[in-house]
Amino acid sequence: MKFFVDTAEVDEIRELNALGLLDGVTTNPSLIMKSGRDIMEATREICAIVDGPVSAEVTAVDFDGMMGEAEILSKIADNICIKVPLTFDGLKACKALTSAGHKVNVTLCFSANQALLAAKAGATFISPFIGRLDDMAIDGMEVIAEIRKIYDNYGYATEILAASIRTVNHVKEAALIGADVATVPPATLRALVKHPLTDKGLDAFLADWQKTGQRIG
């Protein structure tokens, strides 16, 4: 499974990338707002840190506007992936952009039927929002499973990018279902390494090692 980090915080991205954990980055207008950064400047820096795709989202809602913004965003770097919303204009822009050789992430997906349309429009990635479905008492993971089944039935190459991930269990369940990518907030990505028995075991090994009086090397 590929890991993308869901943030526009450049320092976080630099640190996680140095750990060798990152296959890409996703941003959105809310994450840009939280970072307090200029979208062009922050996205340029992120693209220089990470080799994989960096999703930058258009904010226009009409086809022409999306295409105009996509042209500007795509010039930032070769690893830009244009993010468009799951609307008819967004799907039309997706088709046009992928036909022209761009990577496209279709975002704000909340149903398997929406994901089917995105695949038919040639999307590189489809982003179903697990957490926001769970917030409404709809099983977000079930939607991921349905999309996996549909894409496998017809051999669609669109990658399932599990988004709106809130917990480490979301990551595990998405991986078990076979989502291609998880975009994970930095804190959740760091939490994946944690287990109390790992800490306890390490403490015990170190205590016993001290008793031997030895050192390696």
* Contact (CB, 8 A) for 152 and 112: no
- Closest residue to ligand G3P, judged by C-beta, is 164
Tokens 């992430």 label which residue? Answer: 105
Q: Shortest approach of ligand G3P to residue 75 CB, angstroms?
A: 22
83 included as an active-site residue: yes
Q: Shortest approach of ligand G3P to residue 161 CB, angstroms?
A: 9
Q: Shortest approach of ligand G3P to residue 111 CB, angstroms?
A: 16
Closer to ligand G3P by CB, 172 or 200: give it: 172
Closer to ligand G3P by CB, 116 or 174: give it: 174
Closer to ligand G3P by CB, 17 or 28: give it: 28
Catalytic residue among 34, 83, 200, 211: 83
Active site residues: 83
